[in-house]
Amino acid sequence: MQDIKIDKFMSDCNTFEFFLYNCKKINLRIMKKIVMFLIAGSLFASMLISGSCQKDEEIKAKISVKYLADTTQVVPFANVRISKYDVNVEGTCNVFGVFEHIFRDEMILDVRAWELDSLGEEVMYGETTIRLQKGKLITKSVYIN
């Protein structure tokens, strides 16, 4: 009778040890997954926070061309050149007399605007300067005469 109780006790102990062993294996697997998730999450967060992928602030220049004789009247389709040294941007205003361009760096530039007649001859022109500042919309009017 004593042998049966000892065998039963030993089998219960083995079952309990087996249970603990399996729990430890399961817990280790879960812990490994949690640790890997935390490492991956912290790497992802550090990539988002880091300043290495910083977006450059753009500078938007908006030039409006108007007549000097009547400063409320705009010049549609006037030609505009923004230049200084190695920077040279040329274009045509829209129907509202506005020319826009986006720059990357701060600088001071010369702005020249002119209107052509039907033969392609320059009939009116005007000049001014513009100072570009990071992250700002710079608006400037050029009056042609």
pLDDT (tens digit per residue) in 28-39: 677 777 778 888
CB-based burial, 17-40: b 16+ in 10 Å, e otherwise: eeeeeeeeeeeeeeeeeeeeeeee
Tokens of 29: 């697997």
The band of 61, judged by pLDDT with boundaries at 50, 70 and 90, is: very high
The CA distance from 78 to 25, in Å, is 78
